[in-house]
């Protein structure tokens, strides 16, 4: 049995109870609403090198001609740039990016505060084509903990009809690691946040475990939950939608998730 902590020992020290005090008016918010994935990466590199960055680079949305220029250079450079506009006061607090798809697709998790609660939604660049996402919880009184955010990401449903929606992360992992796996595409997903340190490390470890423990035979005979339970062995983190506590690999359907 492969224990994820043995693959990425850094995640053993993650504070799963970490909770940011706010998503607004802090340095982390400077990059949060930059839509373009490649543009966001270049800004981070420039900041690390103490380079001067023009203010327009930090704009959440770029003019259409600039997006088209990126697309002309290479389609993947425009990944994230076509995400829909933010609602008033809305901030991207996490994202799922797929750097190896043709258009380097990005899924944006967003939050806004109104009437003393935090409201969440998940959306991508194909929002106008009838494809949508469902997240749990819809609202919280306080910002999510790191554990709560991980659970939210693992519970995202997607599809044209959410009554029969697919589990987003389960399906993507199965597609990349079972159907089309190639070493050069590892890890196929980047799940990151400007506000939650360690989120990316956690999911890299999880992807490693999935790739090492799930086989094509499993994919044919097990449900998505079964596949993910196989990958999650070694974590003491329950899944929100299934309400199954995977601590020590045992099911506890009465377990409560601390958000």
**Looking at the domain assignment, is residue 130 inside a domain?**
yes
pLDDT at 85: 93
**Looking at the domain assignment, is residue 259 inside a domain?**
no
d(CA 217, CA 5): 25
d(CA 201, CA 191): 9
Range of 59's domain?
4-249
Most confident of 110-114, 164-168, 236-240: 110-114
Instruction: Please state the domain count of the chain.
Output: 1
**Residue 186 pLDDT exceeds 70:** no
**Looking at the domain assignment, is residue 58 inside a domain?**
yes
pTM of the model: 0.79
**Looking at the domain assignment, is residue 255 inside a domain?**
no
**Looking at the domain assignment, is residue 95 inside a domain?**
yes
**Residue 96 pLDDT exceeds 50:** yes
Q: What percentage of the chain has pLDDT greater than the value 90?
A: 24
Q: What is the mean pLDDT of residues 30-55?
A: 87
pLDDT at 80: 85
**Looking at the domain assignment, is residue 258 inside a domain?**
no
Confidence of residue 172 (pLDDT cuts 50, 70, 90): confident
Higher pLDDT, 172 or 25: 25
Diameter of the chain by CA atoms?
Answer: 54
Summarize pLDDT for 223-258 with one digit per residue, the tens.
Answer: 766 766 777 665 544 443 433 332 223 333 333 333
**Looking at the domain assignment, is residue 68 inside a domain?**
yes
**Looking at the domain assignment, is residue 254 inside a domain?**
no
């Amino acid at each position: 049995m492969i224990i994820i902590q043995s693959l990425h020992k850094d995640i053993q020290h993650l504070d799963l109870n970490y909770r940011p005090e706010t998503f607004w008016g802090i340095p982390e918010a400077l990059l949060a609403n930059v839509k373009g994935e490649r543009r966001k990466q270049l800004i981070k590199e420039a900041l690390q090198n103490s380079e001067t960055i023009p203010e327009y680079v930090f704009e959440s949305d770029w003019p259409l001609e600039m997006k088209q220029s990126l697309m002309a250079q290479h389609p993947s450079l425009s990944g994230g740039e076509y995400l829909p506009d933010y609602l008033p006061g809305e901030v991207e607090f996490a994202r799922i990016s797929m750097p190896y798809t043709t258009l380097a697709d990005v899924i944006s998790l967003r939050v806004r505060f109104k009437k003393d609660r935090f409201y969440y939604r998940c959306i991508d660049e194909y929002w106008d084509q009838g494809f949508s996402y469902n997240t749990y919880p819809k609202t919280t009184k306080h910002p999510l903990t790191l554990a709560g955010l991980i659970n939210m990401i693992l519970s995202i449903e997607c599809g044209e009809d959410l009554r029969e929606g697919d589990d987003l992360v389960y399906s993507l992992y199965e597609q990349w690691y079972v159907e089309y796996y190639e070493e050069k595409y590892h890890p196929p997903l980047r799940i990151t946040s400007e506000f939650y340190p360690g989120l990316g490390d956690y999911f890299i470890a999880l992807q490693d475990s999935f790739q090492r423990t799930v086989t094509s035979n499993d994919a044919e005979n097990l449900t998505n939950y079964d596949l993910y339970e196989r990958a999650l062995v070694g974590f003491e983190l329950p899944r929100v939608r299934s309400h199954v506590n995977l601590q020590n690999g045992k099911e506890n359907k009465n377990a409560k998730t601390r958000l």
